[in-house]
Every structure is written in C-alpha cells, then in structure tokens.
Amino acid sequence: NSSLKYLAVDLGGESGRVVSGAFDGKTVEVEELHRFATGGIEVDSTLRWDIHRIWQGIQAGLQTANKKYDKIESVGVDSWGVDYVLLDDNEQLVELPYHYRDRRNIGTLDQITEIVPKSELFATTGIQFMEINTLCQLFAGQRCGDALNKSQHLLTIADYFHWCLCGSKTIEFTFATTTQCFDPVKRNWATSLLDRLKIPTHMLPEVVSPGTNLGNVRESVQKQTGIGKVPVIAPATHDTASAVVAVPVATSSAKNWAYISSGTWSLVGLEVDTPVISAEALMANVTNEGGVDGTWRLLKNVMGLWLVQRLRLAFSSRGFEASYEKLTELAGQATSAGCFIDPDDPSFLNPPNMEEAIFRFCNETGQAPPADEGEMVKCVLESLALRYSQVLKEVSALAKTRIDVIHVVGGGCKNILLNQYIAGATQLPVVAGPSEATALGNLMIQCKSAGKIGTLGDVRTVIRDSVELIEFEPTALTYWQDALVKFEGLCKKRNSQN
Ligand code: LFR
C-alpha cells in the first residue's frame, strides 16, 4: 500500500523491539517485527548491559524489516534513560556499560552533595535526586577506576546504537536532560558543576535536537542487514520523552491531563511549558526532563512494574511459574492483601529476592505479610496506585494546575486491574492506551522530521485516531480513602525509620 514505512528501535529495561510504523498521512499502524531480551548481566559481581547481544537483536529486526518492506523512510532508536557507553579514541568500547542498578552508585548522592549542595545541583540541572542518575554513575566511575580517563566519547544507550548504525557521535537533547549533567536552560553540559566533582568533561559530545538527521546507515550494516542507505533520525531518544509524545490528547480539549508512562518504571507527572525549579520542587524531589517542541516533563519516577517483574522471578525460583497475565488474574481474585508497601523504598531497587524484600518491609512496618502470590501482587499493584495518587497531588500543586484525567501509556497500560486501581486511588478517570506509546512517539518524530506532519498536537491527533483507548471510571471511594490514609501513615513511619 501507499503508506510510508518507518522503523523504531525501542529499548526497555526488560526487552527491546524493532517496530515498524506505516503512516498514511492520517493514521499510523505499528507492527512488532522482532523482540529480544535486554536485561542486566552479572560480570565480576557488577551489573552490566550486554550491548553486543542488544546490537544483534537490533540487526535481526532490521533484517526482518528489509524482507518485509521495499522502502524504509528512516530508522531511529530510543532507550531507557541515564545509562551510557564509553568509547576510546579508536572508537573501541572501553568497558561493558554499567546498569543503573549496579551497587557502585550506593552512597554517591551523599558524597556528591557534600561537594555541591542539593539546591545548587537542582537549580542547575532541574533533575530529581536518584542514585541511578548519570551524574552519580560518573562520580562512582571516577572514584573506582580509570575508564573515564581512557574514554574519548560518552554516548547514551540510544545514541550509542545510533553510532553503531551510522557513526554519529552525538547525544540527543531529551536524553541529555536526564543525565543531571546538563543545564537545560543554557542547553549545554553543566561543565563547571562537573569540574567541581572532578568528573572529566572532555568526552561529552555535541547535543542535537529530536528529529535531527544523523546520517545514513553505514555500509557494513547495510551489508549485514540488507537495508539500504536508510537515513538515521534521532527521535526523542529517551523512551519516556517518546512515550509522552504519544499521549493521545486532543488539542481542542480543555481537560488538564496527567500521564503515567507505565513499564519497568512508572513515570508519573505533567507536561509543562517551563521547568519548575522552585524550592518546593526541590523539597518534593521532582524532576524536569526535556521533551519535544519546548515541552517539559514535570514528573517523578515510581518503582513501577519492576516490582512485579522481580516477584515473578522470585516465585519462579521456588517453582511457581506464572505469566504476568496469570499473576494479575490471581491478584484480582485475592481478597484484600491488608498490607501496603512504599514502592519507592530503596530496599526494592535491586534486592536479591523481591518476595523476601516485601516480607521484610511488612515485618519492619508491623504489617501482616501477604498470604500467597495473588495477595502479594495485589499488595504491589494497590501500593503503586496509591503512590501514583500521592505523586500526582504533588506535581499538580507544584505546577498549580488541576488534573481532570490520567492517561496511562506504555506496556503497563494493558494491566486492567492496575488501571482500575489507579482510577480508584486517584478518584479520577483513567484513559489507557496506547501500549505502544514509546515506539509510536519514536516513529512520529521521524515523520515530523521528514515534514510529513506538523506540530506535536498534530502528532497526538494522529495517535488518537490510530489506537484503541479504554476508559476507567473511579469507584470504591471509601475503600481507597481508607487505603490512602493507611498508606500515607506507613510512608511517614518508614521515612522516620530510615
Ligand atoms: C523509563 C526510564 C526512566 C528512567 C529509567 C532509568 O524506561 O527511561 O525515565 O528514569 O528508565 O533509565
């Protein structure tokens, strides 16, 4: 048919995909061509990304695309944030890149803020304090080895694969803003801040805008995959930026919307016109990440479906195998778990066994733990919904706007039970979809770059017209009111313990 075909490489913490998008000027249809595991690997007691395996997965996807389509307009990569790859002056890999959940980051925040006060770090970068941030990783890296000194180029995960594809050594703006090494107002690396932390800056590359043409696919990749001299276009390379591009809102609607980009992490917040860098924002530890067309995302990271991913692994390690669908079904059948967790408790970032971590949390907070797998998952999903509701209240106060509707996008929006819980915990209507938000956002920025579509508003109209959305109305007011009181008490108690 006459539609134009674009390719999105979309890399998440659990899996990566090569997805095609067929755009006919009005609607876009996506198709998954190839999926492969990403996930961390243990190397000498450290946690790393196997980027060679990921690159193989990407190339396999490109081969499939080549067999399927006569012509491919362009290709672009997005990935999870904060992680990076180091190349030396011969463009060789310096080390296998670290995973943001690696242990070396523990304690870096205290060490960093002894040198540069929190208020100053926040004023310069607008980014929330999390030890997964690139800044903390670079600080840790500088302390425990000489990899940085050996490096000539630092590329983020998505931008590294752009380099693999076409040789460009640049970082795209939306990703740069997540590093906490970038001054979003000056639109440049925060070099004086990095100097004070003794983090080298010579390896930080040029920052380009979403939609930039990075060059054509290299000859070696053309040979390997069969795809021709296809242009490589940087989308919004940070997956969350791409996901929020794909929030299916109508520009004409007067409704104030919030989003939850739901995957390994849940990114919960608002789109705003300018970063919110107030004293209150610092207190609330929110983040301001750069988006497309001058937009900003005022949001907070919530631990997200990582908790369920890891529970599934823990269950499986004791012989209880179940799909995500099965686990959700069991949660739906469970009677009230009767206990909650704070999903963002540091003990859940990367525990050896998630089930045991949740048991421990319940013990330490004086709650009877969940009795079985269903109750366990129910406890997690309810706690996530309660945490979202807390965060949405915070960001809405900071941005001084009311929220009328919540859009849940990303793979996690397929979890109907969680959507119902969100509507309950927030007492707001929830619109779920598209589950392919990240890939759609990636694809549509490529269309936009090619001049096939105008504004971000037009992009969202196309997406709204292309996907199926499911609405959830708030129910069970008193149940959720009581739950929220209990949850908030629990978080307070826990914070005073830590
Ligand atoms: C979501 C995400 C978040 C980032 C986290 C770690 O996939 O990109 O935005 O904080 O992963 O990279």
Is the CB of 443 within 6 Å of ligand 1? no
- Cα separation, 210 vs 449, in Å, equals 8
Q: Quick one: pLDDT band at residue 495, thresholds 50, 70, 90?
A: confident
Indicate which atom in ligand 1 lies nearest the CA of residue 267: 9
Maximum average pLDDT range among 140-144, 255-259, 418-422:
418-422
Assess contact for 243 and 459: CB atoms under 8 A. no
Q: Quick one: pLDDT band at residue 253, thresholds 50, 70, 90?
A: low
Is the CB of 301 within 6 Å of ligand 1? yes
Give the closest residue (by CA) to ligand 1 atom 11.
80
Kindly report whether the peptide bond that precedes residue 205 is cis, defined as omega within 30 degrees of 0.
no
Indicate which atom in ligand 1 lies nearest the CA of residue 82: 12
Is the CB of 462 within 6 Å of ligand 1? no
Q: Which two tokens stand for residue 61?
A: 């996807």
Position 498 scores a pLDDT of 65
Distance between Cα 78 and ligand 1 center (Å): 11
Is the CB of 388 within 6 Å of ligand 1? no
- Cα separation, 134 vs 83, in Å, equals 6
Indicate which atom in ligand 1 lies nearest the CA of residue 79: 8
Is the CB of 100 within 6 Å of ligand 1? yes
Mean pLDDT, rounded, of the chain? 96
- Candidate of 132, 135, 237, 239 to mutate for ligand 1, largest count of ligand atoms within 8 Å of Cβ: 239
Is the CB of 139 within 6 Å of ligand 1? no
- Candidate of 301, 306, 349, 391 to mutate for ligand 1, largest count of ligand atoms within 8 Å of Cβ: 301
Distance between Cα 443 and ligand 1 center (Å): 19
Give the closest residue (by CA) to ligand 1 atom 6.
81
- Cα separation, 210 vs 293, in Å, equals 9
- Candidate of 101, 137, 240 to mutate for ligand 1, largest count of ligand atoms within 8 Å of Cβ: 240
- Cα separation, 65 vs 17, in Å, equals 12
Positive or negative CA dihedral for 158, 183, 267, 274? negative
Assess contact for 491 and 361: CB atoms under 8 A. no
Distance between Cα 446 and ligand 1 center (Å): 21
Give the closest residue (by CA) to ligand 1 atom 7.
80
Q: Quick one: pLDDT band at residue 254, thresholds 50, 70, 90?
A: low
Give the closest residue (by CA) to ligand 1 atom 4.
81
- Candidate of 78, 82, 296 to mutate for ligand 1, largest count of ligand atoms within 8 Å of Cβ: 82
- Cα separation, 346 vs 498, in Å, equals 10
Distance between Cα 439 and ligand 1 center (Å): 15
Distance between Cα 240 and ligand 1 center (Å): 7
Region of poorest pLDDT, from 160-169, 248-257, 354-363: 248-257
Assess contact for 34 and 64: CB atoms under 8 A. yes
Count CB-CB contacts under 10 A for residue 15.
Answer: 16
Q: Quick one: pLDDT band at residue 396, thresholds 50, 70, 90?
A: very high
Inter-CA distances, 375 with 350, 370, 372, 418, Å: 21, 5, 5, 14
Is the CB of 240 within 6 Å of ligand 1? yes
Position 252 scores a pLDDT of 66
Residue 345 falls in the annotated catalytic set = no
Q: Nearest 10 degrees: CA dihedral of 349, 352, 354, 356?
A: -130
Distance between Cα 118 and ligand 1 center (Å): 21
Q: Quick one: pLDDT band at residue 104, thresholds 50, 70, 90?
A: very high
- Cα separation, 69 vs 202, in Å, equals 41
Distance between Cα 81 and ligand 1 center (Å): 4
Is the CB of 79 within 6 Å of ligand 1? no
Is the CB of 131 within 6 Å of ligand 1? no
Is the CB of 306 within 6 Å of ligand 1? no
pLDDT over threshold 90, residue 198: yes
Is the CB of 268 within 6 Å of ligand 1? no
- As a whole-number percent, the residues of the chain with pLDDT over 90 amount to 94
pLDDT over threshold 80, residue 112: yes
Report the predicted TM-score, pTM, of the whole model to 2 decimal places: 0.97
Q: What's the ipTM?
A: 0.97
Indicate which atom in ligand 1 lies nearest the CA of residue 239: 8
- As a whole-number percent, the residues of the chain with pLDDT over 70 amount to 99
- Cα separation, 300 vs 313, in Å, equals 26
Is the CB of 80 within 6 Å of ligand 1? yes
Of 78, 83, 102, 239, the catalytic one is 239
